[in-house]
Amino acid sequence: MRTKDLHTHASVSRLSKFPGPLRIIDVVNAAAGLCPNERRGDFVVDIHAVQRGPVGRPRNVEADGKILKAALALYGDAGWHGFNMTKVAKAAGVGKSSMYTRWANVEELFLEAFRTVVAAPGPVGDSAREVLSNEAEYRMRLYLGEHAQAVRRLFVEMACEVNPVVRAAYLHTYQDPIAAIRTRLWEFKSAGLLPEGTSVTRLLDAIEGSVLMRAFSLMPENIDCFLGEIPEYVENLVNDQLDALPLQALRSVS
């Protein structure tokens, strides 16, 4: 590929991160979504530069879905350090070369797997009770569902190491939707729909922490039985928290 062609594929914003005179290798690295790490003198993935969308032939929704689910399953089993294109292709039953016509690199595949397969609904409902109940049930089913191992490993790996790709998936799965729910609860409080003395942080922490602890502590042989009890568990959990607040009508938004 000629230098001119490389410049076409590498954005100015990415190239601006390379200090000094621009070299061909800098252009290549920028096109691949890499930026210099000044502390270590090497390159790290620039999450914001990772391409999204097709890079080759038209996408096959069914095939893509199979690959993305295989990617989550592999990550759940092997973690980030055991995650690569070869293993995902083998698990999905597709050729490795076809993977690169869909995703430019392993980081792009990993992020799309979480962003596409793992929903992150945020606040759903017109009252604090509805929002908390919907969030609690969604989280419980996520932690006990088809992709439980992947989302659990993501939670642990985010706390154990600094990795920009894992962090981006964590923001999508945990940080951003929970932050949106916290903001919504503050809106309820500001509108007088939650008692003035309510600690929004502790209220949400109690719900999220209870669900996390309950799901993570269940023995595998008890999960199927508990799945049918989730609605009752969630109702009691949310009632316990809201009923403990100072007496005040918890009205719905009209």
pLDDT in tens, 155-206: 999 988 789 999 999 999 999 999 999 999 999 999 999 998 899 999 999 9
Q: How far apart are CA 208 and CA 83, in angstroms?
A: 28
**pLDDT > 70 fraction of the chain, expressed in percent and rounded:** 73
Q: How confident is the model at residue 123 (pLDDT cuts 50, 70, 90)?
A: very high
Look at the block and give the residue holding tokens 């092997």.
78
Look at the block and give the residue holding tokens 């410049």.
7
Task: Domains for the chain: give ranges and CATH numbers.
Answer: 3-49 (no CATH), 61-108 (1.10.10.60), 128-243 (1.10.357)
* 220: phi then psi, degrees, rounded to nearest 5: -55, -35
Q: Is the pTM above the cut of 0.75?
A: no
pLDDT in tens, 28-75: 344 334 454 443 444 444 444 444 444 445 567 888 999 999 999 999
Q: How confident is the model at residue 118 (pLDDT cuts 50, 70, 90)?
A: very high
**Cα 62 to chain center, whole Å?**
22
